[in-house]
Amino acid sequence: MNEVVKILVIEKSYIIREGLKALLSQMGLAFRMDEADCIKDSFQKLLEKYEPQVVIANQLQLSEKWHGNRNSTAFTGLIIIGIVHSIPDENQTSHFDFTLNVMNSKSALTNDFQDIFVKIGLVSEENDSETISEREADVLRLVALGLTNNEIAERLFISVHTVMTHRKNITRKLGIKTVSGLTVYAILNKLVESGELKGGRKE
């Protein structure tokens, strides 16, 4: 949800880079975009420098300086989107996960981006407004009371791992990260009485 996605754009054209930035900023995605004119040295070095999750690269730039195998571990988890200017030849774009035709209209490009981001799980199709489940409310209550993950697991007869999953989901749904923030939420929603709080544990 609120994590910033690191995107690296490798494209010589300033106008295309700015255009991509403008499009991306309309996607409802928190992102940071780094830019490179071209691949000076090797693609791997650029990856090490910027550590992107998504690379959007000019098709020509990447084919020339492409060293190594798309399946190699250096590219694990990396999404590579190729910038093309026409309907591409399959052979030239096999190392891309997706292609983006920059000659397309704004609405077509927006749709393409949307599709890509949904497919790779960066944007979710359903909205994020789901409320917390009863079990999550139980966990939240105990978090607010100052219990540790271990104590919560013991109390609810679940594994610590499950507690952590619940906490992750609570934070994602509510948009509240800190224990004191969750405590305020719990009091406002009457999951706990402020009298119950020991006021001991602070992060």
Partner 1 sequence: MLIHKDMKMADVIHLNHHLLHVINRFGIQLGFGEKSVKQVCELHQVPLPFFLEIVNTFHDSTYFPVESMLQFKASELIEYLHQTHQYYLDFRIPEIENYIRRLTNDNSFDEEIKVLLLDFFRQYTHELTIHINKEEQRVYPYVLALEHYLQDNKLEKELVEQLKAYSIHEYEEDHDDVESKLFDLKNILIKYIPQPKDSRILNLILHEIFELEKDLNNHAHIEDLILVPIVEKMEQDFLTISNQDKTL
Contacting partner 1 (CB under 8 A), which of 67, 106, 161, 177? 177
At 91, give phi and psi (nearest 5°).
-60, -35
Partners of residue 58 on adjacent β-strands: 83
Closest contact distance (angstroms) between CB of 188 and partner 1 is 5
Question: Please, what's the b/e burial string for 58-80 (b: 16 or more CB within 10 A of its CB; e: otherwise)?
Answer: bbbbbbebeeeeeeeeebeeebb
Nearest Cα neighbor of 143 from 156, 152, 132 is 152
181 part of the interface to partner 1, by CB under 8 A: yes
Q: Which of residues 30-49 bind partner 1 (CB under 8 A)?
A: 33
168 part of the interface to partner 1, by CB under 8 A: no
Contacting partner 1 (CB under 8 A), which of 2, 73, 76, 91? 2
Those residues with Cβ within 8 angstroms of residue 44's Cβ, 6 or more apart along the chain or in another chain: 67, 68, 74
Closest contact distance (angstroms) between CB of 196 and partner 1 is 14
Residues 5-24 as x/- pattern, contact with partner 1 by CB under 8 A: ----------------x---
184 part of the interface to partner 1, by CB under 8 A: yes
Contacting partner 1 (CB under 8 A), which of 47, 158, 164, 176? 176
178 part of the interface to partner 1, by CB under 8 A: yes
107 part of the interface to partner 1, by CB under 8 A: no
Contacting partner 1 (CB under 8 A), which of 80, 188, 196, 200? 188
Question: Please, what's the b/e burial string for 42-52 (b: 16 or more CB within 10 A of its CB; e: otherwise)?
Answer: ebeebeeebeb
**CB closer to partner 1 out of 43 and 185:** 185
Contacting partner 1 (CB under 8 A), which of 19, 162, 189, 201? 189
Q: List the Cα angle 158/159/161 in 5-degree steps.
A: 130
Q: Contact residues for partner 1 (CB under 8 A)?
A: 2, 21, 33, 174-178, 180-182, 184-185, 187-189, 194, 202
